[in-house]
């Protein structure tokens, strides 16, 4: 970005306010961003796909997609972007920001719930690939398939059976006993929240952004 040094600082400050990162973290992330994009202004899929550690991740495709998913960027419209700028990059990463430690104790329950909901929404969008607000069986099978793809000992059939079973589990818990004429569309976001309500996602879906130094910054390419 052709902004001057002070302009950049200003931008970082804005981003920090918006996403809850500290300016230092933003700065670090920016370095990383520039490193990934090889000093371009925008990040494209192949940049992420080039990260060597990521290559071993069975669900990397979904994760990479999530970075380009407009829904995760707070936009109403659906669809995918081809490339994202630094701001979007940081926005996506802010889903993984732990709640600020100093405020953790006094966080209102409501606020905690919002954080949780946001994080769940992110996960939900990741599974709901066709943006129709429902994770259908096919979509879920796909997720499970990718998830288990690194275990070559589990055949495709088993994978399918597992995803089917999981889906049925959701159906039985969220809908209860179904009448003979009912059918199950798939997991809606409400049901998704319901089934994950016991998982303390607000404490789990976090990573440290704190200790980033030059050394680790360069790794993974």
Partner 1 sequence: MPMPSSVYFCLLRAVFLVCFVNPLIILGLSEDVNEIQDHHHHQPKENLTGLPIVTFKWHHVQTPYLVIIWVFVAGLAKLSVVELSHHVTSVFPESGLLIMLGFVLGGIVWGADMAQSFKLIPPTFFYYLLPQIILDASYFMPNKLFFSNLGAILIYAIFGTCWNAATVGLSLWGCYEAGVMGNLDIGLLQFLLFGSLIAAVDPVAVIAVFEEVHVNEVLFILVFGESLLNDGVTVVLYNVFDAFVSLGGPRIDAAEIFKGIFSFVVVAFGGSFLGIVFAILLSLLTRCTKHIQIIEAGFIFVVGYLSYLTAEMLSLSAILSITFCGICCQKYVNANMDEKSVTTVRHAMKLLANGSEIMIFLFLGVTAVDTEIWVWNTGFILLTLLFVFIYRIIGTFLFTWMLNKFRLVPIEVIDQVVMSYGGLRGAVAYGLAAMLDEDKIPEKNLMISTTLIVVYFTVILQGITMKPLVQWLKVKRAAHSDLKLIEKLNNRAFDHILAAVEDICGRIGDNWWTRGWNRFEENYISWLLMKSKARKNRDYLFNIFHKLNLEDAINYVSEGERQGSLAFSRSDEAANVDFKKQFGSEFADVMPNIMVDMSNYELGIEHFSVTSIVKDTIPSVSLDIHGQDRKNAMDDINAHHLLQQHLYRSRKNHRHKYSRSHFSINQNEDEVQEIFQRTMRSRLESFKSAKMGVNPAKKITKHHKKELMHKMPNGHTDSTGHLYGDEVDRAVGRDTGAINSTFMRDMYTIGAGIENPVFLPDMDSPAHSPPWLMETEAVAPSQRAQRRLPWTPNRLRRLAPMRISTCSTDSFLMADVSLTLEEHEEQPQTDNEDMRPVFD
Part of the chain binding partner 1 (CB under 8 A), chosen from 8-16, 74-82, 110-118, 170-178: 170-178
Question: Among 19, 91, 125, 136, which residue interacts with partner 1 (rule: CB under 8 A)?
Answer: 136
161 scored as a contact of partner 1 (CB under 8 A): yes
Minimum CB distance to partner 1 smaller for 10 or for 113:
113
CB of 94 to partner 1, least distance (A): 11
Q: CB within 8 A of 55, min separation 6: which ones?
A: 49
> What does the alpha-carbon distance between residue 15 and residue 11 come to, in Å, rounded to a whole number?
6
Question: Among 26, 84, 93, 115, which residue interacts with partner 1 (rule: CB under 8 A)?
Answer: 93
Instruction: Write the Ramachandran bin of 62: left for phi over 0, alpha for psi from -120 to 50, otherwise beta.
Output: alpha
156 scored as a contact of partner 1 (CB under 8 A): yes
Query: Given the structure tokens 């550690």, which residue do they identify?
Result: 53
73 scored as a contact of partner 1 (CB under 8 A): no
**Token pair of 176, please?**
């209860």
209 scored as a contact of partner 1 (CB under 8 A): yes
Minimum CB distance to partner 1 smaller for 15 or for 29:
29
CB of 134 to partner 1, least distance (A): 9
Question: Among 6, 105, 106, 108, which residue interacts with partner 1 (rule: CB under 8 A)?
Answer: 105
- 31-70 positions binding partner 1, by CB under 8 A: 32, 35-36, 48, 51, 53-54, 56-60, 63, 67
Minimum CB distance to partner 1 smaller for 41 or for 182:
182
199 scored as a contact of partner 1 (CB under 8 A): yes
CB of 197 to partner 1, least distance (A): 8
104 scored as a contact of partner 1 (CB under 8 A): yes
184 scored as a contact of partner 1 (CB under 8 A): yes
């Amino acid at each position: 970005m052709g902004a001057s040094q002070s302009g950049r600082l200003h931008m970082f400050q804005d981003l920090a306010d918006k996403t809850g990162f500290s300016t230092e973290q933003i700065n670090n992330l920016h370095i990383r961003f520039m490193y990934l994009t090889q000093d371009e202004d925008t990040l494209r899929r192949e940049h992420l796909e080039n990260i060597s550690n990521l290559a071993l991740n069975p669900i990397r495709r979904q994760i990479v997609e999530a970075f380009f998913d407009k829904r995760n960027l707070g936009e109403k419209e659906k669809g995918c972007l081809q490339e994202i700028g630094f701001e979007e990059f940081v926005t996506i990463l802010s889903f993984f920001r732990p709640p600020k430690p100093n405020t953790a104790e006094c966080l209102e329950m409501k606020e905690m719930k919002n954080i949780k909901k946001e994080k769940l929404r992110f996960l939900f969008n990741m599974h709901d690939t066709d943006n129709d607000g429902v994770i259908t069986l096919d979509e879920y099978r796909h997720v499970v398939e990718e998830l288990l793809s690194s275990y070559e000992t589990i055949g495709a059939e088993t994978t399918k059976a597992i995803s089917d079973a999981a889906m049925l589990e959701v159906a039985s818990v969220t809908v209860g006993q179904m009448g003979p004429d009912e059918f199950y569309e798939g997991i809606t976001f409400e049901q998704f929240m319901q089934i994950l309500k016991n998982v303390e996602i607000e404490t789990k879906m976090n990573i440290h952004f704190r200790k980033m130094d030059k050394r680790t910054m360069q790794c993974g390419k």
